[in-house]
A and B are shown apart, each in its own frame.
Chain A
């Protein structure tokens, strides 16, 4: 069997090496590119990203990658957005004013609540390992990228904003922070976004990357 080929989109932001090494560890052949044509023709693509939403969108625009990603998504190519890359999949973000996103999953990016469910101040960014649970619209994770994961397994999060899909059916997994649900994994057709870092979540994350390589 040939190796799955995964195109990792390089738009000048973030720690691509870890994503690349994680995918390679899962048996993939990784191509790093900022070329829109290579992105459109990808077999599978990963959109990584750390940092600020607006500068990421500026950078994607400057590389001509916005239409490329939209074309890739409409072809039904598997696409995985990680952390900021997940947030970019939505319609718009409230980080530092309003910025339009890629619009591949309807919804908005809003701040992680600064208060817990009991009204106490909580630490922002939300940093650390947190357990994954099925979103309210889900019973389990059958036939999803999380099919090999146990409920409650922890993944590594680092973020101050969160991506909230308009349609609850697009939420696959959440985590709880300060007693409140935060979307951890969102999905629409072949487009998936995870707020946590699968490449930094040990075996729990590698299982998700393996599922993506086989998707």
Chain B
């Protein structure tokens, strides 16, 4: 039974906009990241996760600005990923007010970056972001560049290696489930959580409040990343928290001010 199960709002960013896709593709503009982030903070979200989905140099600069202005009125932890390729990129994002960086593509290209970030800022700061596509019923392949590029790496093996190299947390996105509202990929979660000792964030597929209970109970996840369900106002963070609590999941007690 997890204690302190976390409810995380995931904001995918392209340029100045909050966007949402399906299978990380077919991106639609949702609106202003600042407005949505503040709404989730006021609803009592446990953390925010910003992912730059074009990961260009320009995009990243935008992202630092978005994070810097969020830090003015949002006082919960922020994880930022997308386009972080070096220690210097990590420094820029952390200086803008982020607490952790999420690294995917650059970690695959240069796994030493995981160790370098963990040594410099502590492993709690280094989130390994893994985009997983199912290849057989019990095997998943690591993808990079928002589910576009194959790597040939096995997800479970890569997760284990990432933890050995210093990752303090894993953001595990099922590309197959992402944006589909059909629930998290429980088999994928279970395969990874059974093999690693660090917290795992389930991402991709949250359709209903009960999906987070399944991610925790059946998948062994420590947190869920939610996007579509919040962006389209199908539920508030408070609704989801109340549901999780009613299901006796250990979530933070939060009373709206």
Contact = CB atoms under 8 A, between A and B. Distances in A.
Interface stretch (B68-76, B129-137, B147-155, B178-186): B68-76
Interface string B191-204: 00000011100000
Given A121-B197, A127-B169, A129-B4, A52 B122 contact: yes
Interface residues of B, number: 36
Given A17-B71, A21-B72, A201-B75, A131 B253 contact: yes
Contacts of B94: 15
Given A15-B95, A25-B73, A200-B76, A50 B197 contact: no
Nearest to B46: A129
A148 B181 CA distance: 40
Contact of A17 (B95, B120, B123): B95
Contacts, number: 91
Interface size on A, as a range, is 20 to 34
A136 interface: no
Contact of B124 (A15, A131, A153, A158): A158
Contact of A200 (B72, B77, B252, B257): B77
A202 interface: yes
B98 A15 contact: yes
A177 B97 CA distance: 27
A50 B121 contact: yes
A131 B253 CA distance: 8
A125 B99 contact: no
A11 B197 CA distance: 32
Given A123-B198, A123-B199, A202-B44, A18 B76 contact: no
Interface of B: 3-4, 6, 41, 44, 46, 68, 71-73, 75-77, 94-99, 120-125, 168-169, 197-199, 222-223, 252-254, 257
The 9 closest A-B pairs by CB, nearest first: A128-B4, A129-B252, A154-B252, A125-B124, A158-B124, A17-B97, A200-B77, A203-B257, A21-B71
Interface of A: 15, 17-18, 21-22, 25, 50-52, 121, 123-125, 127-131, 152-154, 156, 158-160, 177, 197, 199-203, 205-206
